[in-house]
Amino acid sequence: MSTVGMMRGGDSFADRSTRARVARLILEHGPVTAAALGRQLGLTPAGVRRHLDALLAEGMIQSRTATPRGQRGRGRPAKVFVITDAGRSAFEHAYDDLAGSALRFLAAHLGGEAVSAFAREQVAGLVGRLGPILAEVPPEQRVRVLAEALSAEGYAASASKAGTGGDQLCQHHCPVAHVAAEFPQLCEAETEAFARILGTPVQRLATIAHGDGICTTHVSPHGLTNTNHIENHTHVESKESGR
């Protein structure tokens, strides 16, 4: 679903565009009043109300009553608007649509290797941020620390000991799952990044992008191989698992 998907079929393009702007302002600045929205968008009170009513009917936003600090006596409490989970999801899907279109363009005009290069570039920042930090962490604690860092970035990750030896890293949320389902290079690049950050071979066992409930990565016990072998081993495992 895109932000246009919030809009009613009979609306004009101008109405859909304005309504998407109203929803975005509520997402970014909510709770916000109708008067504040009107000032920022240059809309009349009636115009703002029309768009707000449509978004309320679609379940994209909800209204709340807020009494400003220090307000007493006469006057109705202010009504403010906030985005709902459904509205937030609509924006996430809109970003998915844009990212998917960009990657399809790369694949069509420059080939699959260009998509892989893009994916590696995207996770390079993760390696740059976490690599030096985990290098100072004892090997037996690195998976746990990585899980905490990933959770801070929205991946809802956890770490546990694997019954066959090593550790298991689980990600219960994937912000790019819809795009990764079409472009597995994103999962491959992330897996390779984990191997570099942790300094040991890893193997992706399951992914949300491929319909599994969580992304699961097995992390081998530390100290088996050197860094160069780690990267090659991870690349081979990624190919064998179809990720």
pLDDT band, residue 5 (cuts 50/70/90): very low
Identity of the amino acid at 200:
T
- Taking only the tens place, the pLDDT of each residue in 181-199 is 999 999 999 999 999 999 9
Do both 161 and 55 map to the same domain?
A: no
Is the pTM of the predicted complex or chain greater than 0.85? Answer: no
CATH number, domain of 8, equals 1.10.10.10
Do both 83 and 28 map to the same domain?
A: yes
Task: Give the pLDDT of residue 29.
Answer: 81
Do both 37 and 70 map to the same domain?
A: yes
The total number of structural domains that make up the chain: 2
Query: Is residue 97, in this structure, part of any structural domain at all?
Result: no
Domain that holds residue 41: 3-88
Do both 121 and 207 map to the same domain?
A: yes
Query: Is residue 221, in this structure, part of any structural domain at all?
Result: yes
* Final residue in a domain of this structure, among 54, 88, 122: 88
Do both 160 and 194 map to the same domain?
A: yes
Do both 81 and 117 map to the same domain?
A: no
Strands (E) located in 145-201 = 157-161, 167-171
CA 69, 36, 20, 65 dihedral sign is: positive
Do both 209 and 119 map to the same domain?
A: yes
Query: Is residue 104, in this structure, part of any structural domain at all?
Result: no
Do both 70 and 144 map to the same domain?
A: no
Do both 52 and 172 map to the same domain?
A: no
Query: Is residue 100, in this structure, part of any structural domain at all?
Result: no
Do both 139 and 198 map to the same domain?
A: yes
CATH number, domain of 212, equals 3.30.1380
Instruction: Output phi, psi for 91, to 5 deg.
Output: -70, -40
Do both 134 and 209 map to the same domain?
A: yes
How many other CB atoms are found less than 10 A from the CB of residue 226?
9
pLDDT band, residue 241 (cuts 50/70/90): very low
Do both 39 and 115 map to the same domain?
A: no
Helix (H) or strand (E) holding 186: helix 185-198
Asked whether residue 33 carries a pLDDT value surpassing 80, the answer given is yes
* β pairing state of 202-206 and 167-171: unpaired
Q: Where are the alpha helices (DSSP H) in 42-157?
A: 45-58, 85-110, 112-135, 142-152
